[in-house]
Chain A
Amino acid sequence: MVRILVCVKQAIDVSQLKVDSATRRLILADAAKKISDFDKNAVEEAVRIIEKLGGEVFTVTVCPDDAKTTLREALAMGADKAYIISDPIFENSDTLATSYILAEAVKKIGTFDIIFCGEASIDSFSAQIGPRLAERLDIPVITYARKVSLEGDTVTIERSLEDCSETAKAKMPLLIAVTNEINEPRTPSYMAIMNAFKKEVVIWKATDLNITSEKVGETGSAVQVLDVLAPKVERQKIVIKGETATEIAEKLAKALIQEGVITR
């Protein structure tokens, strides 16, 4: 019997995001949201472990607004129970503040053998929440996990780093942040989706965790956002035309050599 908690983020679906090209502002108001991709790998890994060894998978998210639909997906994938920690005062929390909220939630939810996170979120991609949460809970953390195996209270984790793969061992309880190499997340069946509606979703506000506004949101954050802008594109956009491929190629070669970007 293993008790697992998976932290998921309701992230902006970056593939559907629109930009106002005149102002370079992102149109975030009605932007589609979904479970962050790597967090799905985390849910999948947790569910697979439980299917093999028995136990429970809980899932938790922290967000300023409603995340029920997002967490329903984690439940449909096989998680048993979901916790939504949601309060408008969480708006503009950085990783320092968000990890604080998450740690307070975990302490109230209970004790776990493994806490899973994704390596990073698809929208902010800072890869900090997992390591920061582990530090706040004072448990070991293994990041960039691409293979996890359990034996007794010992977990063996294969990690992928830039120049090597590394095998690490740690005792439970611990936190593991997974990469997308670890598994292929399942697509829940119709039955699983229907079943998810019967599963329990607990919603807590800041006051349920005795969290006050000075430790979260902008006041509780060490980092503040000044500006978010789409990158400037200043390209020449010269169309090279010609009757034949050879003619086009010769014009292009000449232009590149004249511009001095060809170095040999």
Chain B
Amino acid sequence: MSGHSEVWAYSEHKDLMFELVGKGRELASKLETNLTAIMLGHNVKDHAKELVGYGAHKVIVVDDPQLNEFHIETYLNALTQLSKQHQPELFLIGSTRRGKELAARLAARLGAGCVADCLELEVDEQGKLLARRIVYGGNAIVTQVFRTKPQIVTVPRGKFEKPNYTEEHKGEVVNITDIQIETPKTGVVEVNPVPMAETRIEEAEVVVGGGRGLEKKEDSKILEELAETLGGQVGYTRPLAEDRKWFTEWVGLSGHTIKPKLYIACGISGVIQHVAGIRDSKTIVAINKDPEAPIFEMADYIVIGDLYEIVPALSAALKKSLGVGKD
């Protein structure tokens, strides 16, 4: 062991937590230390064992009736006490809105630094953690290093692979009982779930994107037809959602960040904020009437043409080649 203390991972979001365990284990091995997953809640023993299967060397469990529901103050309280007791080297926290607040406040309580929304985490030859994130509205990527410990970073959903579950992983589950949870200062009085899309656009292998080139909301059906042909999903740009109020969600820096195998941008000019949300797509096709559209700088395949002609023709061509619709 090189004297590094542990790498920790925590998210209140179950799937994101698995991704953190995967990435955290990789970083821990480079730092020659262990990955410890933090589990907060009530009656959560089975979940703790599951985290071992995903790769946690150790799971620290705080099982307390006061932690039954996520409440930022009780959870923050528990994480602060755990961090002070055990002094992790690096703490990965899931970058949900709840997680971002949690990480910032934990960092404040520990007098620590925090790098939010990391898209890359790397350990250099000197064993130093390099954290990369998008800044300036998608115009740049900043590389940051920590001067103090613990190093707190938040990681968004879908940036790192979910590891495979295997019974072969061995790890210990440690119950911590000497933690006093304070009564919260703020109260949550009501929670109203937002109706969610059935499938998440982040998980789609093909995404057809629609931008301001779409003249009417109804015209989105030509994009839907293309997406359906390819077994993919449709996503839109922020102006269609926010200015025209056609949709409630959008793809871009402030919305969904996606990295499908194929992204087909239809009638999208390609402002930097949108590009930041699709940059990691494997292959990008751009269809736009304007030969000067900045999206073409980002594209593998460029079609200068009207989406109203090209997109239906592309759906037809693909159906023909793929044999979709034939029995």
Q: Which of A15, A140, A164, A224 contacts B144 (CB 8 A)?
A: A224
Return B163 CB to nearest CB of chain A, in Å: 23
Q: Could you tell me if B196 and A163 are in contact, using CB atoms closer than 8 angstroms?
A: yes
Q: Does B176 contact A (CB under 8 A)?
A: no
Q: Does B222 contact A (CB under 8 A)?
A: no
Does residue A96 face the partner (Cβ distance < 8 Å to B)? yes
CB distance from B263 to the nearest CB of A (A): 10
Q: Is B117 an interface residue, CB under 8 A from the partner?
A: yes
Q: What size tier do the contact residues of chain B reach?
A: 35 or more
A248, B142: Cβ atoms closer than 8 Å: no
Q: Tell me if A142 is interfacial: C-beta within 8 Å of chain B.
A: yes
Bound form: Cα–Cα A58–B282 in Å:
48
Q: Is A195 interfacial (CB 8 A cutoff)?
A: no
User: Within the complex, which residue of A126, A142, A170, A244 is in contact with B117, where a contact is CB–CB below 8 Å?
Assistant: A126
Contacts of B253 in A (CB 8 A): 125
- Residue among A99, A169, A263 having the largest count of chain B Cβ atoms under 10 Å: A263
Interface segment, one of B22-30, B52-60, B182-190, B212-220: B182-190
Chain A to chain B contacts (Cβ below 8 Å), 25 pairs = A17-B139, A96-B108, A96-B113, A122-B137, A124-B135, A126-B116, A131-B108, A132-B108, A164-B193, A166-B191, A168-B186, A169-B186, A174-B186, A222-B146, A225-B144, A227-B142, A228-B136, A228-B141, A235-B297, A237-B300, A237-B302, A249-B313, A249-B317, A253-B321, A256-B285
B140 near A224: Cβ-Cβ < 8 Å: no
Binding site for A on B (CB under 8 A): 96-98, 100-101, 103-105, 107-109, 111-117, 130, 133-148, 185-194, 196, 205-206, 230-231, 253, 261-262, 271-272, 279, 282-285, 296-306, 309-310, 312-314, 316-318, 320-322, 324
Task: Decide if A164 touches B191 in the complex (CB within 8 Å).
Answer: yes
Minimum CB–CB distance for B158 against chain A, Å: 12
**Is there contact, CB below 8 Å, between B113 and A221?**
yes
Asked if B189 and A167 sit within 8 Å, CB to CB, the answer is yes
A199 within 8 A of B: no
Assess the B192–A223 pair: CB atoms within 8 A. Answer: no
Question: What is the CB-to-nearest-CB distance from A17 to chain B, in angstroms, rounded to a whole number?
Answer: 5
In the complex, A262 has a CB within 8 A of chain B: yes
Q: Is A259 positioned at the interface, with any CB of B under 8 Å from its CB?
A: yes
The answer to whether A235 and B139 have CB atoms under 8 Å apart is: no
Which of B101, B104, B145 interacts with A226 by CB under 8 Å? Answer: B145
The answer to whether A253 and B317 have CB atoms under 8 Å apart is: yes
Q: A163-B196, A223-B144, A257-B321 are in contact. Are A12 and B304 (CB under 8 A)?
A: no
Q: Digit string of A147-164 for contact with B (CB within 8 Å is 1, else 0)?
A: 000000000100011111
A168 to B184, alpha carbons, bound, how many Å? 12
Assembled-state Cα–Cα distance A75/B265 (Å): 42
User: B114 is contacted by which of A167, A223, A261 (Cβ under 8 Å)?
Assistant: A223
The answer to whether B301 and A256 touch across the interface, beta carbons within 8 angstroms, is yes
CA A167 – CA B191 in complex, angstroms? 6
Q: CA–CA, A156 to B142, complex, Å?
A: 37
Question: A123: which of B137, B147, B196, B314 is its contact (CB, 8 Å)?
Answer: B137
CA distance A253 to B300 in the complex (A): 13
Residue of A230, A245, A261 touching B282 (CB-CB under 8 A):
A261
Task: Check A262 against B279 for contact (C-beta < 8 Å).
Answer: no
Residues in A with CB closer than 8 Å to B134 are 125
The residues in A between 216 and 264 inclusive whose CB is less than 8 angstroms from any CB of B are 221-231, 233, 235-240, 244-246, 248-250, 252-257, 259, 261-264
Residues in A with CB closer than 8 Å to B141 are 228-231
Output the least CB separation between B281 and chain A (Å).
9
Additional pairs, 12, CB under 8 Å, beyond known A127-B116, A237-B297: A19-B140, A126-B104, A128-B114, A135-B108, A144-B97, A156-B189, A170-B187, A225-B144, A236-B300, A246-B316, A248-B303, A259-B283
Instruction: From the candidates A130, A221, A238, name the one contacting B147 in the complex (CB within 8 A).
Output: A221
Q: List the B side residues contacting A256 at CB < 8 Å.
A: 262, 283, 285, 301
Which residue on B lies nearest to A219, using beta carbons? B147
- B96 lies within 8 A of A161 (CB): yes
Asked if A235 contacts B300 (CB within 8 A), the reply is yes
CA of A170 to CA of B299, assembled, Å: 49
Flag if B113 contacts A14 (CB, 8 Å): no
Closest A residue to B324 by CB, please name it.
Answer: A264
State A253–B262 Cα separation when bound (angstroms).
Answer: 12
Chain B residues within an 8 Å CB radius of A254: 321
Q: Which of A122, A233, A262 has the most B CB atoms < 10 Å from its CB?
A: A262
| A239 and B304 in contact, given A164-B192, A249-B313 (Cβ under 8 angstroms) | yes
A94 contacts partner chain B, Cβ-Cβ < 8 Å: yes
CB distance from A154 to the nearest CB of B (A): 10
**Residues of chain B contacted by A235 (CB below 8 angstroms):** 284, 297-300
Closest CB-CB distance, A257 to chain B, in whole Å? 6
How many Å lie between the Cα of A163 and that of B193 in the bound state?
6
Residues of B within 8 A of A143 (CB): 97, 100-101
Q: Which chain B residues lie closer than 8 Å to A19 at the CB level?
A: 139-140
